[in-house]
Amino acid sequence: MARRYKKVEGGHGHHGGAWKVAYADFVTAMMALFMVMWLLASTDQKSRVEISNYFRSGILPEGELAMNTAAQIKPSVIEEAGVPPPSAEQASMDSNAEAAKQISDKLGRLAAIDSEMAEVIKNVKIKITPEGVLIETVDEDKGLLFDLSSSKLTPAMQRFLKAFAPIVVKVGRPVEINGHTDARKFAHGSKLNNWDLSYQRAAAAREILEGNGVPGSQIVGLYARASTQLYDPQNPLASQNRRLSFLLRVTEAADKAVRVDNIDATLANPAAALPAPAEPVAKPADTPPADDGGEHAK
């Protein structure tokens, strides 16, 4: 008995090559669109007119082949300009960061070999600002920096300033010294106030720095801040507000290019830049501080 074989048609007809043709058309269209967009972005109006004329006739009005002109299209602005140089502000901040690291490293080495010095250095705060490097000695330990109600520096603070002076000289930047107090008022009728006290503290620091090698010409400002620039504004009476701050300024050229908001004095004309209440006050006569007023713990 003869067997009959049934032919089974394959079920994969949908796997033909039609989709490849459609995909190739799509890719070609995208490439053409990219070329048009690139030509529009990288050519000026005159070049676009010349290219348009070429695709119409192949000849420019002057008789030159349009493709010869198209081959001379200028590079884009990014290609011509290359990498732009850093801004003056960024260059200043980079310089400040380098100076801050140098100061921090030197103070860290001092703290590692001198435990008494380490007690003061742990209260030193270094901040990078557009105007320079701000070093603040904050009285975290209540009496570590100054005697009570006095501008007299403690022996520990005097030792720190003597060690800090060579660092200031090494960095070589103009330095501005600021004296600060907390917001506690002196007793009514006292001949001394927070303006006087903050100035005397700044002056005491200047005397030690100059006595240990810092040239007088490097110290460009000596300011009484009183309680106008509190370290802890939320706690005006906090001991941290009683401090000295040293601003190692950027050079004069960079200072002209970069204006600063967080410190109000400028190297070229510090007096004009100060707000009215923060002008340096004249050093008073040797008047003993009141025992029952002022900071009580300054």
Write out pLDDT tens, residues 230-248: 999 999 988 888 999 999 9
Model pLDDT, residue 38: 83
Q: Which amino acid is at 92?
A: S
Model pLDDT, residue 1: 55
Question: 138 pairs with which residues across the strands?
Answer: 243
Q: Where are the domains of the chain?
A: 17-81, 88-278
- Tokens 């830049």 locate to 273
Model pLDDT, residue 148: 64
Counting beta carbons within 10 angstroms of the beta carbon of residue 114, is it exposed (0 to 12), middle (13 to 18) or buried (19 or more)?
middle
Strand, helix or coil at 127? strand
Question: 244 pairs with which residues across the strands?
Answer: 137, 179
A 10 A CB-CB count for 208 gives 18
Strand, helix or coil at 224? strand
Q: Starting from the edge strand earliest in sequence, which strands make up the sheet with 132-138, in order?
A: 124-129, 132-138, 243-249, 175-180, 219-226
Beta strands, E only, the chain: 124-129, 132-138, 175-180, 219-226, 243-249
Q: Are 96 and 133 spatial neighbours (Cβ–Cβ below 8 Å)?
A: yes
How far is Cα 239 from Cα 140, in angstroms, rounded to an integer? 6
Question: 76 pairs with which residues across the strands?
Answer: none
Model pLDDT, residue 219: 96
Cα three-residue angle 227-231-234, rounded to 5 degrees: 90
Enumerate residue ranges in the chain where pLDDT < 70.
Answer: 1-16, 53-92, 141, 148, 251-298
Model pLDDT, residue 40: 78
Model pLDDT, residue 292: 39
Model pLDDT, residue 174: 96
Q: Are 209 and 159 spatial neighbours (Cβ–Cβ below 8 Å)?
A: no
How far is Cα 2 from Cα 85, in angstroms, rounded to an integer? 92
Model pLDDT, residue 82: 45
Cα three-residue angle 99-132-202, rounded to 5 degrees: 105
Could you tell me which of 179, 293, 255, 168 has the C-alpha nearest to residue 218? 168
What are 153's two structure tokens? 């520096």
- Tokens 């002056």 locate to 203
Structural fold of domain 88-278: 60s Ribosomal Protein L30; Chain: A; (3.30.1330)
> What is the DSSP-derived secondary structure letter of residue 153?
B
Model pLDDT, residue 19: 86
Model pLDDT, residue 175: 97
Q: What are phi and psi of 80, to 5 degrees?
A: -70, -45
For CA atoms 136, 140, 142, 144, give the dihedral sign.
Answer: negative
